[in-house]
Every structure is written in C-alpha cells, then in structure tokens.
Structure 1
C-alpha cells in the first residue's frame, strides 16, 4: 500500500510539537492543511493517530507505536540530503571580496585558476559588507585590513600601496602642508564605500583613533573616489597604481610619501579547518602565487 509522504511528515511534525499550529509554522503551511493531511493519513490507515486535548495534541497508542520509527526515518532522509549538499559544495568555492578588488585584480586572473582546476566551480560575491563565513556559506573572504580576524584563519596576500592624493587646486586653496600621517586629519577626507581605509591606514601609521578619520563623502568605487579628488573635494586615499596616470598628468598630487605599513594588506580569511578541503587549499595556493607575481 502507498502511504503519502507529505502526510507522514506532517504526522511526525505534529507528534514532535504536540500542536497543529506549531507544525504548520514548521512546514510553512496553514493549520487547516495540517489537519487535512492528518485526516488523509488516518483514513488511509483506518486508525486514529492523534487526539486533541485541552493544551494541544497527543499521540494515541497507535500513533505512539509508529512515531519513533517515522521520526528516525525522516532524520535519516534529512541527513542524506545534507550529505548530498556537502558533496556538491566540495566541488565548488564561494569567494567574497570587495567589488573593486574583484573587478581590477581577481576576476581577470580567475581564468588561470580554472585552467589549473577545471573541476572546481568558483562563485564570486562582491560586497564590502562583513560576512559570516558559517552562516553565509562563504569559503574564502578576501579582505584588506590589519589581519586581525578573531576566531578565523588569515593568509597574507599582498600589501597594496595606498597613497593620499589631492588636486592642485585643493592643495593651493587649503595651503596643504603635510609631513606626517596625522596631518591628513586637518583636511576634508574622501572615503571608500565602507569608510575603512582612512581609519586603518592611520592606525597602521601609529595615529590614535580620531573621529575626523570617519567623516567626509564616501564612494563605492576607487575610480569615483579619484574623480572626486580631481574635482577638489578633499584628500583621497587610493591605490597608487590607480592614480599613476592622474599624478603623471598633474591632475592629482601625492600629498605624503611615507613607507607603507606592511600589516595593512589584503588577506584571505577562512574558518578554522576549512583549508583541509582540497578545493580551498588549491585556491589559497593559487592566489598566493598570483599575489607574488
């Protein structure tokens, strides 16, 4: 005899929660739909499995006799499906990084990774938001900062050369004279999208936290940031490589030339134990080699 799987699942949920309403919430259906499934199952079996009482539902003797085995069967089904999901993820990688780094550095190089590992599917998520590596199912997060990621593993990749720049007009109008990193705080600052670069750059140079480091207009893309600096809106902290053309043409001026703090860098961040996966290890080995070129 064929027994409807959905009705059996519904019976297990009601038996576990002792409530039609709670089972309906768990199954994302209406209480009426739950009651209908129970009636279908009881009609098919010819026995009463659940009885209503003042505080909810209780298993009858017949219901109690089959409930543990059905519950265990659905647990095994769920475990089997999780195993399939894990097996699928073993052949894929989700990489999270900021949009500018993805567009200017990572994505143009991913073809070389695919040539080396054609069996690995890579998904790139471009966001400046912090990610929960467990909840968001991200395998590797590529972030720039000081390498301080509590509870996580990080691998140093490269130290981008960020430099403060401003337009000649801004320099003249504000009579800019900067000899130390802290001197930048005396002028309007232009920020990246998550307003992280200036505070971290100043901290790496030994400058104590200052609220002025977080004030000013923000731009999601480094190229927009450079355009704002060219327009004389303030000091911008940008990758030196991105501003070389503007500096060479005299549209921007490097306002401070100091050795770059090595700690402020791009890092590959993973959960502890994640690097045991061959796919993650292969990606980390590859990106470290690319960063060293």
Structure 2
C-alpha cells in the first residue's frame, strides 16, 4: 500500500454528495461527469479500505465510516470557505493612509482612534509618523496633517488647529509657582524640544519673546532636552519641569488634570496643524470630515484661564 499523503480534493466532493443526495447531482454542481465522480469515490474507498457510500435505488447514503469522514470534510470545507470570504472581504475594505508627525499621532490621534473606528467601521486607517512632512508624501499617503505656516502649504489646505501654546506641567510643579505669575517659570527646570533652526514651531526663547514676560528662559541649569515632543510631554507628566504645551494636542491631558497650565497663552496667526488631502476618494473624505469635526472640540479659553489661576 502506498504511503503517499491522502489527496484532499475529495473533501468538497463528499460535502456536495451529502448536500445533493446523489452522485449525479454532486457531479452537476461541481461541473464534473458522473463517471468521474464515481471513480473518485471508488478510489477513496480503496484508499480507506472500506465502503463510504451505500448505493440505493435513488441516490446514495453514507455508511458509518463514511459519516465519520464526512464530518471531517464538512469542518475543513467550511473553514476554508470562511477563510476565503474573510480574505476577499479584507481586500475589498477601503483603506486610507495618513501621514503626520510624532506629536499629533501619539498625543492627539491615537487616543481618539476608537472614535474614528466606531464611526467608520468599514474603513481601515493606516498611520505613518515622521518628524516632518516630506516633500513626496503623496506617493505613499492619502491624507496629511502637518504643522507649519499657511504659506507652506498649497491652496486647499485647511487649518485644523491654530498654534496656541501655554507652559504646562504636572500639578506638583504648578504648586511651586506663584499663582498666575509667568515670571516664576525661572524657578523650575524647563523641558525643551530639540529641533533644527528651521523648525516651524515655538521654542522657549520664541515663547518668551511672544508672551512679553521678560527674562530669558531659553537655557538654564537643570533644563532637560529631548528630540521628540512625546518625550517632552512624558517628562512633564513625570514632574520633571515645565514644557510648552500645544493646545489641541495636549487637551486631553489638561482635561484629565494630569497637566495644568502654568503661564500665559501665546497664539501665532496662520500657523498650526493643517489638513491636506491627496485625493478625493470616499475613504479620504470620511477621514478628512472626521478630523475636522474632532479637532473642533478643543480646550475652551475660559477653562484654560480658570486652570491657570488655581
């Protein structure tokens, strides 16, 4: 007797015989001739060394051994058919690819991902984060959320979040400052975001100049420096010092009381996070609409002012 593995092509044949009740009906359903089906059944019975079907006057009936084999065949065929449907459905699901920076993706987008998925269950979202938006981002993405000045982006870009910056820190650090006095920021370490000179966002020296609080908070003993904004915020959450907080990006941390406002707000006109769509596909439009709606729910000015003087 041959030791070659059993050919599995017979499984669907057995399932069709069971469904149709006869070899001729199974042959028609599978696009085969009745002699071809009969031959496969005889070959299978020879392989197993037992009768699998009883030939009746009309149709066939499975023997006990045939039923045992049929149960295996049914399970396997159903699993394979289900897997095929799932794979095809996944390939048909629309997907939209978003590129943005580490701060927006880690602090704003990811905490809100469940909301997007709940509202758009048929759209797969892929996120690609980098420090700055590359010039050829359209080659790999459908939507971009990028930080910069209005003049940086082409016509059609929409401002999601204007640049509004306040010093933020853990509540334990805020307690060391005099209530509402920004000049006391020199009493605690500052947390800096290291960036190249062409970076479009405010740093501590620029914040001091824009806020008009006087002094020089650009460099001081004990200050900390990180090369990603997520690390800056993690240090602030850990009570390591005061960081610049971009309102919109850190709103949820402020609302939860994990961070508190520790100074005056500075707003830079025509600068902030901009939404740019590379195409007009339906998934792209769905994501763009959601981003616009979600970014419209921001940290209110009266809430910020109240927190700053607590």
Q: TM-score, normalised by structure 2?
A: 0.44
| Larger Rg, first or second structure (1 or 2) | 2
TM-score when normalising by structure 1: 0.46
